Structure 1
């Protein structure tokens, strides 16, 4: 698989070239070819987007006890996310301050201290160096060699990190919304019942673009459309009167149970939360529309909560149902290679084989993810052709894609203009 495509008149891709391409792009059209397949531009994406923006990193229920950790790689940057001795969630660069060795080698684990396997330099969970051995001499100042921190925030059970070397972009408003909208689910008392990792041979932006529209759903996602109503706003020009009436009916029920449902957006197109009903009579994203887990999450009493859809650019979206939550994470691996991680959350006390069947829990989205993988990979193959030129988005069916591409272009342009 090629990692760089050279067009017939290709110029070297550097910051000034990218700024010029962004300035000249046609609004409401897809991006120039290089944005989807060029190694230089991928490196600029990793520098300007994934090394600056807040990223969905995991869930607090994955590290429920002191010393529990998980690791994450963003490009060349390894990250440790650990529950500290003070119960705070910390994020550190997974790089020893001695000679740079990776410290945590497993994806998940539990430790009393963070110990580098190379020379046993030892750190507290908050990153402070507490042991470096007598070999460093009596004058060695351990306080100068703590693990390098990564910006880390949590809200509603979700963990976000930023690799920005200085102040990261604002996120407080979104975190307030997340805490409010996820309060009914009590995700501190949830667990990841199932997790899948899919490698898609497509650029990360094509993965996100595909997610941001359901123009393709009728022809591609029969399992998903057994439960999903594609509209996520009653102001959608395609929304029928029947749909609007269903939304009004469900909102009355949600209001009575103190379940948040109003549309929330933060920081332009970067973040959004909206609760929309599923099809009439459907309670969950399963093949038969019935709940996948008998034990509902948190304080939820009725499974008829529709789907609360959470978007966080650049790398995640979620569907929060009454009985379980599906959280998606996108990690770029190369210009034409992307990792998509899907996690299914249920109540921590739900018993496998009694309250839920893992196969049934994941069936709809396993099928949908694989269908989207095929669509994304075919999209990538077509984009790589010399015949590719940017094409127009539908302002009604693909407004979510337009929003994403506008956010991406503005964000990268702002970064490169500094």
Structure 2
């Protein structure tokens, strides 16, 4: 029987406003339940529709135990399938990305149409019914170019999130974007440490000199409220008057949040001089400096939208102590490299910031797994965001593990 109660007891050791116990970042049973109760049940960010511009273009990802392929069909629809052949389970699409006419299993050449139907299976005899052996679909939803997939048999409601996020990201016209650059970073740390690090800037002064050329964290938007300061209120009002949703929209259950913040004085983009990295703007608001729209959706993504470009980040666990973070720099589809933007200038700040964060996460992983580690308190001034994330995690896991334990009694 799964060790639901043992894992639940471990999570309940966490004190309010404190970090999780060290075993939460390394225990194999807890990691298994992270997958089963969160990753295998939530909507997970996969990629963007403009990465699959033409029929037959696909991307793959691994969501816990589940290999998934997302493909553009001949009818233009974007669909997700479990990336396992219906014959003997081989991965059908073995590359990270590609373009194919059909989905052909490399093992025995079973061939599937782009909508998942099996159209060829050699040497299976006259009684074989191909209609019974199509690829198994996974749930797939799209909101303003963002592709989300869910591997659960029954997916949670997506419409509440769609309604909440659309007014914020819609005006940035991501459907007219392309990926200018993509980077994968393997961090030797638990996925929760990766997100905890993202949800606070307590560490920024001593770690992120490139980012702090433009980024200024506002504690009023960390996750649990806070008084509006005049600068933030004025920024919100100016952006909203131009049609850009800006004020905090926080999911009542704490899973996602959207808000817009001003950057440092004179900065309008994440560059070393604060000036735009791309000549073509994404929004059409007419506001010279819209700051940065920030949105996260646990457990798999955080995002930054600026006037000249956007960044999407995808988090995927690869084990109790390993996480891969994928960053995509998004620019207008008609922007030309070398003319409208320079790759080094566009990417320098976040390539440096990501690697700095990797080192912090890896150092934390070593520390929290020490037998001597004792969880410390969060700062009530600058760590409300990380506390919000850990609260969300503990609430979700406690509820679902309690339900799971009750179901097997």
For 1:2-401, what aligned pairs fall within 5 Å after superposition?
Answer: 14-133=3-122, 135-165=123-153, 167-231=154-218, 233=220, 244-297=229-282, 299-401=284-386
Conserved in 2, the CA contact under 8 Å of 1:69 and 1:109? yes
- Aligned-residue CA RMSD (Å): 2.1
Deviation sequence 1:309-350 (CA, Å, 0-9, x none): 011101210001111111111111111111111110000110
SS at structure 2 position matched to 1:288: coil
CA distance in 1: counterparts of 2:226 and 2:150, whole angstroms:
37
CA distance in 1: counterparts of 2:231 and 2:70, whole angstroms:
42
Alpha-carbon offset, residue 405 of structure 1: 0.8
Conserved in 1, the CA contact under 8 Å of 2:211 and 2:270? yes
Conserved in 2, the CA contact under 8 Å of 1:62 and 1:192? yes
CA distance in 1: counterparts of 2:342 and 2:133, whole angstroms:
47
Change (3 A) 1:113 1:234: closer
Deviation sequence 1:138-181 (CA, Å, 0-9, x none): 3322221111111111101111111112x222331111222222
Conserved in 2, the CA contact under 8 Å of 1:67 and 1:110? yes
Conserved in 1, the CA contact under 8 Å of 2:243 and 2:285? no
Conserved in 2, the CA contact under 8 Å of 1:297 and 1:347? yes
Change (3 A) 1:226 1:107: same
Alpha-carbon offset, residue 275 of structure 1: 0.8
CA distance in 1: counterparts of 2:171 and 2:336, whole angstroms:
21
Change (3 A) 1:118 1:217: same
Q: Please list every run of 5 or more consecutive structure 2 residues that lacks an aligned counterpart in the other structure.
A: 405-409
Deviation sequence 1:166-216 (CA, Å, 0-9, x none): x22233111122222222222121011011111111111111111111111
SS at structure 1 position matched to 2:80: strand
Conserved in 1, the CA contact under 8 Å of 2:167 and 2:244? no
Deviation sequence 1:355-384 (CA, Å, 0-9, x none): 011101111111111111111111111112
Change (3 A) 1:208 1:140: same
Deviation sequence 1:90-140 (CA, Å, 0-9, x none): 11011000111111111111122211122221212221212223x222332
SS at structure 2 position matched to 1:233: helix
Match of 2:407 in 1: none
SS at structure 2 position matched to 1:328: strand
* Corresponding pairs, count: 403
Conserved in 1, the CA contact under 8 Å of 2:72 and 2:79? yes
Conserved in 2, the CA contact under 8 Å of 1:234 and 1:244? no
Change (3 A) 1:232 1:129: farther
Conserved in 2, the CA contact under 8 Å of 1:28 and 1:393? yes
TM-score between the two structures when normalised by the length of structure 2: 0.93
Q: Please list every run of 5 or more consecutive structure 1 residues that lacks an aligned counterpart in the other structure.
A: 1-11
Deviation sequence 1:18-62 (CA, Å, 0-9, x none): 112233431111111111112232222122211111111111111
Match of 1:5 in 2: none
TM-score between the two structures when normalised by the length of structure 1: 0.91
CA distance in 1: counterparts of 2:177 and 2:219, whole angstroms:
26
CA distance in 2: counterparts of 1:154 and 1:198, whole angstroms:
25
CA distance in 2: counterparts of 1:151 and 1:88, whole angstroms:
13
Conserved in 2, the CA contact under 8 Å of 1:66 and 1:83? yes
